[in-house]
């Protein structure tokens, strides 16, 4: 099936602590530039008929309000870390207005965490008003949500397998520091590629700015955006001006079509 025209919205582009970071008075955390204000990392993918969010961060409620999202058809999860799942409870608002359960798509590792963290939503006897969830366990087999084709693939967050997703010519990768050669071949020459770039200094489970830049050039996307950014990386405008135009930092609210 051909991929429809998709609108991509960055709901958040920050690392697990967000930017500004609590109690920090560094020049990034005290910046007045709106592009230096980063909620936890998540994106929204929309066709003319279907709306999907990748990950429910601790900022999920505000992300939905800020972007005036009235309809949500499904949620994809990358991995079970708190900064990517903690906001799931707030899907109950969509349940209330749509009168439908919310389909969730996750691998078994993430599914186990969701069932553990939000046990009350999966219990046989539910308290009124808890989220109504429909769990769908996925692997690397491609599938459809509405009219949007999705190809999951695995990247590595140190030793944790993390799901990344390819939506036609758009590829989204967060929380990774290694991609196997087979997966690189799958995503080479994407129209738009999103990669995590945490900071300049080496990190045990995230790409650095240099590592992400090198990988972006290797994968040869027409346009690459970096996400999952910490305050340690530096001011948005300063770093962006040091990068080529086809490799740029994402920011909250950035939107494009692909």
> Model's pTM, two decimal places?
0.96
CA-CA distance, 58 to 86, in Å (whole number)?
A: 5
Residue 2 pLDDT: 84
pLDDT level of residue 126 (50, 70, 90 thresholds): confident
Fold of the domain spanning 7-257? Metallo-beta-lactamase; Chain A (3.60.15)
Please say if the pLDDT value at position 151 is more than 70.
yes
Vertex 172 angle, CA 187 and 252, to 5°: 145
Q: Give per-residue pLDDT as tens, 29-83.
A: 999 999 999 999 999 999 999 999 999 999 999 999 999 999 999 999 999 999 9
CA-CA distance, 148 to 45, in Å (whole number)?
A: 9
Contact 141, 105 (CB under 8 A): no
**20 cis-preceded (ω within 30 degrees of 0):** yes
CA-CA distance, 2 to 129, in Å (whole number)?
A: 38
Residue 128 pLDDT: 86
Q: What is the mean pLDDT of residues 195-205?
A: 96
Give which of 246, 187, 237 is closest to 213, Cα–Cα: 246
How long is the chain?
A: 258
Across the chain, mean pLDDT equals: 97
Give which of 76, 51, 255, 245 is closest to 174, Cα–Cα: 76
Q: Which residues of 16-28 are buried (b: 16+ CB within 10 A; e: fewer)?
A: bebbbbeeeeeeb
Residue 125 pLDDT: 86
Domain boundaries, the chain: 7-257
Q: Which backbone phi and psi does 61 adopt, to 5 degrees?
A: -55, -50
CA-CA distance, 258 to 254, in Å (whole number)?
A: 13
């Amino acid at each position: 099936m051909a991929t429809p025209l998709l609108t991509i919205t960055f709901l958040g582009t920050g690392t697990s602590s967000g930017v500004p970071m609590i109690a920090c008075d560094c020049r990034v955390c005290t910046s007045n530039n709106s592009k230096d204000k980063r909620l936890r990392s998540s994106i929204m993918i929309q066709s003319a008929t279907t709306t999907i969010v990748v990950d429910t961060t601790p900022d999920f409620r505000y992300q939905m309000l800020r972007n005036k999202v009235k309809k949500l058809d499904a949620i994809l999860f990358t991995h079970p870390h708190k900064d990517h799942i903690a906001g799931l409870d707030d899907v109950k608002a969509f349940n209330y207005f749509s009168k439908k359960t919310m389909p969730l798509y996750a691998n078994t590792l993430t599914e186990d965490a969701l069932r553990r963290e939000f046990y009350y939503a999966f219990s046989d006897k539910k308290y009124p008003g808890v989220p109504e969830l429909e769990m769908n366990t996925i692997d690397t087999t491609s599938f459809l949500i509405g009219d949007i084709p999705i190809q999951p693939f695995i990247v590595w967050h140190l030793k944790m397998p993390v799901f990344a997703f390819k939506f036609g010519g758009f590829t989204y990768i967060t929380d990774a520091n290694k991609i196997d050669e087979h997966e690189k071949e799958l995503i080479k020459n994407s129209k738009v590629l999103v990669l995590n770039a945490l900071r300049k200094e080496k990190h045990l489970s995230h790409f650095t700015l240099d590592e992400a830049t090198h990988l972006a050039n290797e994968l040869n996307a027409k346009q690459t955006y970096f996400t999952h950014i910490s305050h340690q990386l530096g001011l948005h405008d300063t770093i962006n001006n040091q990068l080529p135009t086809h490799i740029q930092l994402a920011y909250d609210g950035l939107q494009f079509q692909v």
